[in-house]
Structure 1
């Protein structure tokens, strides 16, 4: 899904926005977090908080 479509879901306050964001950016966010934090558990928490 494209970013514009994901933003539209957020603007409509649809729960699916979170799922689509995770599909699109979850792996990247966790990889960056893991590289910075050096902890899988902390990276997962960071992803969940985001």
Structure 2
């Protein structure tokens, strides 16, 4: 049962991601770019409080 539930949840997750990419492609691209920018800033230490 747990295996079937996990497979079903993975299928639902993939379906949600595909639908999201089709509907909100520009928004997702903007969010990804923003997250990458934050990661780069954290990497160079600009946003670290110390």
Q: TM-score, normalised by structure 2?
A: 0.33
Could you say which structure has the larger radius of gyration? Answer: 2
Structure with greater contact order relative to length (CA < 8 Å, sep ≥ 6): 1
Normalised TM-score (structure 1): 0.33
